[in-house]
Amino acid sequence: MVNEPEKTSGRYKEVASRVREWLEIHKGEHFDLDLISRQLNLGTAEARKYAAIELSRKVQQGILEKVSNRYIYIDSSYKVIDWLNASVESFDVKFPYGIEDQTKFGFDGSALISPGDIIVIAGQSNAGKTLFCLNLLWENMDNYPCTLMGNEYAPGKFKRRVFRMKWRSPVNVDGQPKFELIERFNRWQDIIRPNNINIIDWINITDNFYQIGGIIEAIKGKLERGIAVISLQKSGENPHGRGGTFSVDMTSLYLSMDFNRLTVIKSKEWERYNPNRKTYGFEIVNQGTQFQNIRAIKKCYRCKGNGFNNQGKCDECGGTGWIDDPKDDSCEMITQEYKEAQDE
pLDDT in tens, 82-93: 888 888 888 999
Q: What is the mean pLDDT of the chain?
A: 90
pLDDT of residue 6: 53
pLDDT of residue 5: 45
DSSP string, 249-269: TT-SEEEEEETTEEEEEEESS
Q: At residue 4, does pLDDT exceed 80?
A: no
pLDDT of residue 93: 94
pLDDT of residue 237: 82
Q: Which CATH class is domain 4-73?
A: mainly alpha
pLDDT 10s digits, 203-226? 888 778 888 999 999 999 999 999
Cα separation, 331 vs 101, in Å, equals: 12
Whole-number percent of the chain with pLDDT over 90: 67
Highest mean pLDDT among 1-10, 139-148, 159-168, 322-331 belongs to: 139-148
Cα separation, 266 vs 247, in Å, equals: 11
| Sequence spans of domains, the chain | 4-73, 118-297+328-343
State CA 198 to chain mean position distance: 10
Q: At residue 272, does pLDDT exceed 90?
A: no
Residue 200: how many other CB atoms lie within 10 Å: 24
- Residue ranges with strand state E in 85-127: 118-123
pLDDT of residue 132: 97
Q: Is the distance from CB of 254 to CB of 113 less than 8 angstroms?
A: no
118-133 mean pLDDT: 94
Cα separation, 317 vs 300, in Å, equals: 6
Q: At residue 115, does pLDDT exceed 90?
A: yes
pLDDT of residue 43: 86
Q: Is the distance from CB of 140 to CB of 168 less than 8 angstroms?
A: no
Sorted by sequence, the CB contacts under 8 Å of residue 223 that are 6+ apart come out as 115, 116, 117, 192, 194, 198
pLDDT 10s digits, 141-183? 999 999 999 887 888 989 999 999 999 999 999 999 999 999 9
In this structure, the strands spanning 180-183 and 146-150 are parallel
Sorted by sequence, the CB contacts under 8 Å of residue 94 that are 6+ apart come out as 136, 139, 140, 143
In this prediction, residue 310 has a pLDDT band, given cuts at 50, 70 and 90, of confident
Cα separation, 95 vs 328, in Å, equals: 19
Question: 118-297+328-343: which CATH number, 1.20.210.10, 3.40.50.2300, 3.40.50.300, 3.40.50.720?
Answer: 3.40.50.300
pLDDT 10s digits, 32-67? 999 999 999 998 999 999 999 999 999 999 999 999
pLDDT of residue 243: 86
